[in-house]
Amino acid sequence: MLSTMNTLRIGLAGTGTVGGGVWSHLQSNFDVLRCRTGVDIKIVRVATRDPKSIERLGIPTSIVSDDWHALVNDPEVAVIVELMGGTTHAYQLIKAALEAGKHVVTANKALLSKYGEELFALAAKKERQLLFEASVAGGIPIIKSLREGLIANRIVALYGIINGTCNYILSNMSEKGIDYAEALADAKAKGYAEADESLDVDGHDSAHKAAILAAIAYGFWVPEGQLATEGIRQVTKVDIQFARKLGYEIKLLAVIKSDDKSGVEVRVHPTLIPQKNVLASVSGVFNAVFVRGDVVGDTLFYGRGAGADATASAVLGDIAELALGLHAPRKCRAVGSDALYPKLKALEEIISRFYVRLNVADRPGVLAKIASVFASYEIGISSVIQPEVQAGESVPLIIMVHDASEKRFADALAEIARLDVVKDTPVSLRVEDFE
Ligand code: HSE
């Protein structure tokens, strides 16, 4: 199948934003890729259910089918590029492609986080590559960096702003002082949010990407549903403003880290980040991944996490890797089958600092009552803000506490919520100091 010298034949499934970008950029940079790989990379078959995109992109109708089986059944096709999205047909296509002895390139983070273990095992068995650079952080080559450039490192910690839509919403709330609903409407109008916005704003998209990064860094797949995930719907502009007063920005952060003994933390949640940390200044739809390796120290990767061009760059990078391997094929390096560390740490054991916002009765002794509950759980307070407001029924009280386990903090907060001086459900957010 790979015997025709110097030509790599591709079957492209999906001609949406990313598929269209791959088609267009492969045409415009054909010569660059030929020069660098020594191979002519040609898309010889396309599967799509969107005839309008075929016309818009100028794809010859003779190579188009509305059925992905046409790609798998073509013996000339050596690589299938899956950009259909979803986890049903895309799963069937990738499985069938590997079974048929084809290499696969995909951008499908939801699919890999669900079926990665099975699909990488199949690729290894079939001695075919399953490449996925575009699945995390769009155009940022974080997968190749972790698997190749940082291969000699144990990963101490990895922190990622890996959902552009959430970062756009939170940065706009912070910079323009607008509320969540307005910022979300703007993100939708600009076409940033996924068709199902819940994937973005409830943290699932970040969780899918975090599962992939964790599988590379720590060698096992977090079982579906066990990755602690909180989205940004509950983040208010009031909390963003108080966080700024305290010297922090709020970002949706993926945290993946291990101390090598007690297990690996993998979680996604809105997080207070010190303004002096470079991640706090990543704004708009940009993504950033901070990696701390035991040999290299701290490294930072920054760029566009979505969009036709950035994502096409990542997909074409994977295709070029296959082209380079035509003359010296590499074995598939299965992802998530080389666990070096104990497995997932339970969320209750994770230690964090916390930000708390309470709405409390405006009368003497309230702060003392709340402080004594924290003290009884051995949780220290690091700062308190009580803004001057007109005397009234209730006032906001913002408290930052020192390190506590999730369990101890949750128990203390539940007790505080039951105090008669506390009016509404307390708001709490985790704080990350990157130490
Ligand atoms: N919806 C995703 C984001 C697209 O906003 O980052 C890229 O995965």
Amino acid 2: pLDDT? 45
* Nearest CA residue ID for atom 7, ligand 1: 306
**Residue 148: other Cβ atoms inside 10 A:** 10
Radius of gyration for the chain, computed over Cα atoms and rounded to the nearest angstrom: 24
- Measured from the Cα of 109, ligand 1's closest atom is 8
For 340-361, the pLDDT digits (tens) are 777 899 999 999 999 999 999 9
Within this chain, do residues 130 and 170 fall inside the same structural domain, yes or no? no
The Cα–Cα gap between 298 and 259 comes to: 16
Least confident of 162-166, 258-262, 362-366, 422-426: 258-262
Question: 176 catalytic, yes or no?
Answer: no
337: in domain: no
Are 8 and 79 contacting, i.e. CB atoms less than 8 angstroms apart? yes
DSSP run (H or E) holding 87: none
* Nearest CA residue ID for atom 1, ligand 1: 194
Within this chain, do residues 318 and 426 fall inside the same structural domain, yes or no? no
Nearest Cα to Cα of residue 113 among 164, 46, 162, 156: 162
Between 121 and 328, the higher pLDDT residue: 121
Helices (H) and strands (E) in the chain, counts: 15, 16
Q: Which two tokens stand for residue 142?
A: 């974080």
Nearest Cα to Cα of residue 266 among 333, 199, 202, 216: 216
Residue 94 alpha carbon to ligand 1 centre in Å: 22
377: in domain: yes
Within this chain, do residues 102 and 152 fall inside the same structural domain, yes or no? no
Within this chain, do residues 117 and 156 fall inside the same structural domain, yes or no? no
Amino acid 391: pLDDT? 64
DSSP 8-state code for residue 288: E
334: in domain: no
Instruction: Report residue 1's pLDDT band, with 50, 70 and 90 as the boundaries.
Output: very low
Within this chain, do residues 99 and 149 fall inside the same structural domain, yes or no? no
**Chain mean pLDDT for the chain:** 94
Signed CA dihedral, 146, 150, 155, 157: sign only: negative
- Measured from the Cα of 163, ligand 1's closest atom is 6
| Average pLDDT of span 380-391 | 84
- Measured from the Cα of 166, ligand 1's closest atom is 5
* Nearest CA residue ID for atom 4, ligand 1: 306
Report the DSSP beta bridge partners of residue 25. Answer: none
DSSP 8-state code for residue 85: -
What is the CATH classification number for the domain harbouring 360?
Answer: 3.30.70.260
1: in domain: no
Amino acid 194: pLDDT? 76
What is the percentage of the chain residues whose pLDDT exceeds 90? 87
Instruction: Report residue 5's pLDDT band, with 50, 70 and 90 as the boundaries.
Output: low
What is the CATH classification number for the domain harbouring 165?
Answer: 3.30.360.10
Residue 193 alpha carbon to ligand 1 centre in Å: 7
Amino acid 271: pLDDT? 98
Q: Of these residues, 109, 209, 257, 345, which one is catalytic?
A: 209
Amino acid 4: pLDDT? 45
Within this chain, do residues 296 and 164 fall inside the same structural domain, yes or no? yes
| Average pLDDT of span 187-202 | 89
- Measured from the Cα of 194, ligand 1's closest atom is 1
Within this chain, do residues 270 and 193 fall inside the same structural domain, yes or no? yes
Are 50 and 332 contacting, i.e. CB atoms less than 8 angstroms apart? no
Ligand 1 pocket check: which of 106, 165, 170 to mutate, most ligand atoms within 8 Å of Cβ? 165
What is the percentage of the chain residues whose pLDDT exceeds 70? 97
Are 301 and 142 contacting, i.e. CB atoms less than 8 angstroms apart? yes
Residue 45 Cα distances to 20, 51, 54, 97, 241, angstroms:
14, 14, 12, 14, 52
DSSP 8-state code for residue 221: P
Nearest Cα to Cα of residue 11 among 46, 36, 37: 46
Within this chain, do residues 174 and 291 fall inside the same structural domain, yes or no? yes
The Cα–Cα gap between 155 and 294 comes to: 6
* Nearest CA residue ID for atom 2, ligand 1: 163
341: in domain: no
Residue 202 alpha carbon to ligand 1 centre in Å: 12
- Measured from the Cα of 200, ligand 1's closest atom is 1
Amino acid 38: pLDDT? 93
Nearest Cα to Cα of residue 226 among 347, 100, 58: 347
Count structural domains, the chain: 3
Residue 217 alpha carbon to ligand 1 centre in Å: 21
**Scanning the structure block, which residue is given the tokens 């650079």?**
133
> Ligand 1: residues whose CB is within 6 Å?
138, 163-165, 192, 194, 200, 205, 305-306
Report CA dihedral (349, 353, 359, 363) to the nearest 10 degrees: 110
For 246-280, the pLDDT digits (tens) are 999 999 999 999 986 789 999 999 999 999 999 99
344: in domain: no
What is the CATH classification number for the domain harbouring 320?
Answer: 3.40.50.720
pLDDT tops 90 at residue 34: yes
Instruction: Report residue 329's pLDDT band, with 50, 70 and 90 as the boundaries.
Output: confident
Identify the domain containing residue 374 by its residue range.
351-431
Amino acid 343: pLDDT? 86
pLDDT tops 80 at residue 151: yes
Within this chain, do residues 107 and 153 fall inside the same structural domain, yes or no? no
Amino acid 388: pLDDT? 74
Within this chain, do residues 299 and 151 fall inside the same structural domain, yes or no? yes
Between 387 and 206, the higher pLDDT residue: 206
Amino acid 336: pLDDT? 86
- Measured from the Cα of 209, ligand 1's closest atom is 8
Instruction: Report residue 390's pLDDT band, with 50, 70 and 90 as the boundaries.
Output: low
DSSP run (H or E) holding 46: strand 40-47
Last residue of a domain, one of 247, 274, 304: 304
Across 111-130, b (16+ Cβ under 10 Å) vs e yields: bbbbbbbebbbbbbebebbb
Amino acid 3: pLDDT? 41
| Average pLDDT of span 176-200 | 91
| Average pLDDT of span 306-330 | 91
pLDDT tops 70 at residue 163: yes
Residue 191 alpha carbon to ligand 1 centre in Å: 11
Ligand 1 pocket check: which of 192, 209, 252 to mutate, most ligand atoms within 8 Å of Cβ? 192
Between 159 and 5, the higher pLDDT residue: 159
Within this chain, do residues 160 and 290 fall inside the same structural domain, yes or no? yes
| Average pLDDT of span 242-247 | 96
| Average pLDDT of span 167-179 | 97
Amino acid 114: pLDDT? 97
Instruction: Report residue 58's pLDDT band, with 50, 70 and 90 as the boundaries.
Output: very high
Ligand 1 pocket check: which of 194, 209, 285, 289 to mutate, most ligand atoms within 8 Å of Cβ? 194
Within this chain, do residues 159 and 292 fall inside the same structural domain, yes or no? yes
132: in domain: yes
Residue 200 alpha carbon to ligand 1 centre in Å: 7
**Scanning the structure block, which residue is given the tokens 């949406």?**
16
DSSP run (H or E) holding 89: helix 89-99
Ligand 1 pocket check: which of 200, 283, 285, 313 to mutate, most ligand atoms within 8 Å of Cβ? 200
Residue 86 alpha carbon to ligand 1 centre in Å: 14
The Cα–Cα gap between 119 and 335 comes to: 9
Residue 360 alpha carbon to ligand 1 centre in Å: 38
The Cα–Cα gap between 303 and 326 comes to: 30
Q: What is the pTM of this model?
A: 0.93
185: in domain: yes
